[in-house]
Amino acid sequence: MPPGAIIKLYFGGSLEFGLPPTERALDAYVEMLEPSGLPWSVAVLGGDVVGCGLARLALERGGHVRVGLEDHAGGRRPSNLELLDEATSLLSALGRRPATSAEARLLLGVPTPR
C-alpha cells in the first residue's frame, strides 16, 4: 500500500453526488472493498455524515469518518469544532476513541517524522 493510502467513500447529500448515504449503499461499497484490506472512510458531500447515521454505520463496520465544514450542509451552521465534537461523542458512545497521530501514521503507512 502506498504511504497515505485510504479509500474515501463519498456519498451524496444535497449535492446529489454518488450513492445516497444509506446502509445499503455503504454495504455495497464495503463488500467490494473487503478483499483489499485497505482502510476506508466515509463522507457526505452536502450533508451531515454524523446526523444522517452514516458515520455510526461506518464505524460499526470498521471504517473511519471524515467531518468538517467543507462537506457539511443542512439547516444548521455548526463550527468545525462542533462537527468534530459530534464525531468524538459518537466514537465514545461506540466504545472507541480518535486515533493518535502515531496510530494514524501507522494505519496509513506514513513514516514517522524525524
What would the pLDDT profile of 23-80 be if each residue is shown by its tens digit?
A: 999 999 999 999 988 899 999 999 999 999 999 999 999 999 999 999 999 888 999 9
Q: How far apart are CA 61 and CA 71, in angstroms?
A: 22
Structural domains of the chain, ranges and CATH numbers in brackets: 7-108 (3.20.20.70)
Q: How far is CA 74 from the centre of its chain?
A: 18
